[in-house]
Amino acid sequence: MTTSPAKRRVDPEKAAGRRIQVLEAAAVCFARSGFHGASMSEISKQAGMSAGHIYNYFDSKDAIIMAFVDREAEHVTELLQDLESRDDPLGALLEEAGNAVDQHLQPQPWHVPLEMYAEASRNPVVAAKLRENSMRSRAAMRVLVRRGREARGLPVDDVLLNSRVDAMIAFFHGLPVRGMLHDDLDRDGMTEAFQTAMRALLLT
């Protein structure tokens, strides 16, 4: 791992903006070259700043990778919090299926998650963090599904909840792979298929 020179003090608000600038540049580079193929010099060129400047905000390229893992977790948390605020979270999940399909098939964003999972297969630190994030979001989703099923008088035993939540998550994890292999997917048809599958998982 390449480490940074000594950091200088930076304004927190400016630093936050610079971190976003670096991450946006890194996303382009990672999508193009992969985590390991993209160099810090490539990222710095894309970001329009020197590699030394980047080290004021990230200790190493590994730190940039972990920042993407954290951003993904924050995004999922925001989605779950929004669902939690709904009177009918299961109905909201079905209504938002189209948006979820579109998000998972957007070319730029899905390159980075695929890179994260590939990195997790060989990097135990990334794997542990992704597993921790997954367990937390899975538990939150279970709470939402339990609440929605209880309101409808449907079974809520642990084995059923675990299996159905895992199946639904697996559907969405698989979408980026399908999008990568087939850029002609019918999104309306895919949304309808997802809603059919999710309705069966959530409401039966």
Q: Kindly report the CATH number assigned to the domain that includes residue 44.
A: 1.10.10.60
CA-wise closest residue to 145 among 93, 102, 76, 75:
93
pLDDT at 14: 82
Q: Are residues 52 and 111 in the same domain?
A: no
Q: What is the predicted pLDDT for the residue at 3?
A: 47
Q: What percent of the chain has pLDDT over 90?
A: 48
* Stated pTM of the model: 0.80
Query: How far from 164 is each of 88, 98, 100, 112, 199, CA to CA, in Å?
Result: 18, 20, 18, 26, 11
In which band, very low, low, confident or very high, does the pLDDT at 6 lie, cut at 50, 70 and 90?
A: very low
The answer to which of 45-49, 98-102, 141-145 has the lowest mean pLDDT is: 98-102
Q: Which of 41, 59, 77 is the last residue of a domain?
A: 59
Residues 25 and 91 in one domain: no
Question: For the domain that residue 75 is a member of, what is the CATH number?
Answer: 1.10.357
Top pLDDT among 5 and 36 is at 36
What SS3 string covers 63-131? HHHHHHHHHHHHHHHHHHHHHHCCCCHHHHHHHCHHHHHHHHCCHHHHHHHHHHHHHHCCCHHHHHHHH
Q: What is the pLDDT of residue 10?
A: 57
Structural domain count, the chain: 2
Query: Is the domain of 92 the same as that of 171?
Result: yes
Give the pLDDT of residue 131. 95
Residues 118 and 183 in one domain: yes
Any idea which residue has 């292999």 for tokens?
181
Same-domain check for residues 119 and 197: yes
Query: How far is residue 179's CA from residue 164's CA, in Å, rounded to a whole number?
Result: 23
Q: Which amino acid is at 96?
A: E
Co-location of 40 and 89 in the same domain: no
Least Cα distance to 68 among 109, 16, 33, 12 occurs for: 109
| 74 and 172 both lie in a single domain | yes
Statement: residue 2 has pLDDT above 60 = no
d(CA 165, CA 100): 16
What is the domain range of residue 109?
Answer: 65-203
Domain's final residue, options 13, 28, 59 = 59
Note whether 143 and 106 are same-domain residues.
yes
Do 69 and 160 have their domain in common?
yes
pLDDT level of residue 113 (50, 70, 90 thresholds):
confident
Do 168 and 103 share a structural domain? yes
Q: State pLDDT tens for residues 130-140.
A: 999 999 999 99
Instruction: Provide the pLDDT for residue 109.
Output: 58
Distance, CA of 133 to CA of 77 (rounded, Å) = 9
